[in-house]
Amino acid sequence: MASAKTTKIIIVGAGVIGACLAYHLSLRPQNVITVLERDIPGVGASGHSFAWVNAFGKDPRDYHTLNRRSLDMWYRLAHKLDTDIGIHYGGEMRWENKTVRAAQLEQRIQQLQTWGYPCKLITREEMLALEPELSPGAVETASHSEADIHVETDKFISVCLERAQESGAIVHSKTSVTDFVIRNGKIAAVKTSDTEFSCDVAVLASGVQTTELASLVDVHIPQQRSPGIVIKTTPCTQVLHSVAVIHAPAADENHQHLHLRQLADRTLRIGQGTQEGINRDESQEHADALLDQAKAYLPAIADAKAIPTAVGYRPMPLDGFPILGFTKAVPNLYIALMHSGVTLAPLVGEMATLEIVDGARVDWFSPYRLERFGKTIK
Ligand SMILES: Cc1cc2nc3c(=O)[nH]c(=O)nc-3n(C[C@H](O)[C@H](O)[C@H](O)COP(=O)(O)OP(=O)(O)OC[C@H]3O[C@@H](n4cnc5c(N)ncnc54)[C@H](O)[C@@H]3O)c2cc1C
């Protein structure tokens, strides 16, 4: 793909992945980048995300390493963009109040340390030194993963798109891709309801809609449904002073674990269970119950009010791992579909650029090609 001639690249979707890719691709002067977004940037999974950037619970080792690399790349990307991109540093703190769960956490920390992940077990006193307003209740064991961050995705997406536009990219919001024009086995143009955009490369960074869009050119992208809810609150007291994210244990058998982060406007984002947990409860009751659980651990947020949020759908390939790369059947169609896209955005933005512009095949992506799903997949 590398040449002095202009390459017209269309990115379908302006979530964290499409925006970060637009930024990286637009740094190459021979590229003409167009981003087509059916709504407004960031309203897909990226706007519903808990946005914890981490490699904490990522298995197996290869996938952990992929996420770890990207986590480290966030620091470099922040330095390069050199403006407020909504990053909150300070790591992730968690604790357990039941013996079995405590033993599991200790084992996990040991495993992660073997893999070189910057995390450690901490005492109750160390927890309170990090977050003095925490009222953790019983603590069997606790940990701190120092490098983890969280990101305000709307800020990050805006900055990436602005920088891409400064480098000549064109971003069309409220522009839904409806079809593709195929010529000589390749995508010659991307169609919207009222026009078409000719291209040399089409990138699907369209989240859950990637399967539907790829099917228009007969490429099958296997996905599972993965609904989740992260509730919002009204602004409240600044309650997290050091760490970016906390994971708190379930209050009892009727509840699940809780995760919480605070944004610069002092609103909170709260979710339950794991990062992949299924939840469709959009009710005020559910939002209130989650916030009440959080208030038990952080009494200072008594003034916060829960705002129920609509269910968000994680882009989730069938086996849970990313799908990255050009397709065999349509050689100028590039797929970038993944869960943990907030964690993975810097790595995908930078490495997919090497594949799209320079024609490289990045080794790190080898386990994540579409072909792993077998012969039925084109
Ligand atoms: C509840 C929840 C919790 C999560 N927690 C975390 C977490 O803690 N850490 C983490 O790393 N990840 C987390 N994720 C996953 C992460 O948010 C996603 O992997 C990431 O946002 C995917 O970004 P994306 O840009 O690929 O997709 P999206 O943000 O969904 O963007 C795709 C865009 O494509 C657009 N589009 C779709 N079809 C068309 C079309 N036909 N024409 C034009 N545009 C189109 C959509 O409107 C959308 O804006 C979570 C997700 C959810 C839902």
pLDDT tens-digit profile of 213-223? 999 999 999 99
Choosing from 191, 230, 339 the residue with most ligand 1 atoms within 8 A of its CB, the one to mutate for a pocket test is 339
Q: Are 76 and 85 in contact (CB under 8 A)?
A: no
> Pocket residues for ligand 1 (CB within 6 Å)?
12-18, 36-39, 43-46, 48-53, 176-177, 205-207, 209, 213, 228, 230, 275, 312, 314-315, 338-343
Tell me if 12 sits within 8 A of 336, measured CB to CB: no
Domain 7-47+154-225+316-373 of CATH type 3.20.20.10? no
Tokens at 324, concatenated: 């990255």
Whether the per-residue pLDDT at 63 is higher than 80: the answer is yes
Token representation of residue 345: 């955005």
Using CA of residue 24, residue 377, residue 342, residue 115, what is the dihedral sign? Answer: negative
Taking the CA of residue 342 as reference, the ligand 1 atom at the shortest distance is 11
The confidence band for 4, taking pLDDT boundaries of 50, 70 and 90, is low
- What is the 319 CA–ligand 1 centroid distance (Å)? 17
Q: What is the mean pLDDT of the chain?
A: 95
pLDDT 10s digits, 357-377: 999 999 999 999 999 998 545
On the question of pLDDT at 378 being above 50, the answer is no
Quick one: which atom of ligand 1 is closest to the CA of 213? 41
Kindly list the distances between the CA atom of residue 43 and the CA atoms of 38, 228, 293, 311, 348, in Å, as whole numbers in the listed order.
10, 15, 27, 12, 20
- d(CA 69, CA 77) in angstroms, rounded, equals 12
CATH fit for domain 92-146+227-313, picks 3.40.640.10, 1.10.10.10, 3.40.109.10, 3.30.9.10: 3.30.9.10
Best residue among 342, 343, 344, 347 to mutate for probing ligand 1's pocket (most ligand atoms within 8 Å of CB) is 342
DSSP SS3 for 111: helix
Question: Which stretch of DSSP H or E encloses residue 104?
Answer: helix 99-114
Record the pTM. Answer: 0.97
Instruction: Please enumerate, as own/partner, the contacts of 277-280 that have beta carbons within 8 Å and a separation of 24 or more.
Output: 277/228, 278/226, 278/227, 278/228, 279/227, 279/228, 279/229, 279/311, 280/227, 280/229, 280/311
pLDDT digits (tens, 9 = 90+) for 246-297: 999 987 777 789 999 999 999 999 999 877 778 878 889 999 999 999 999 9
Return the domain boundaries, the chain: 7-47+154-225+316-373, 92-146+227-313
Burial grade of 27 (CB within 10 A; 0-12, 13-18, 19 or more)? middle
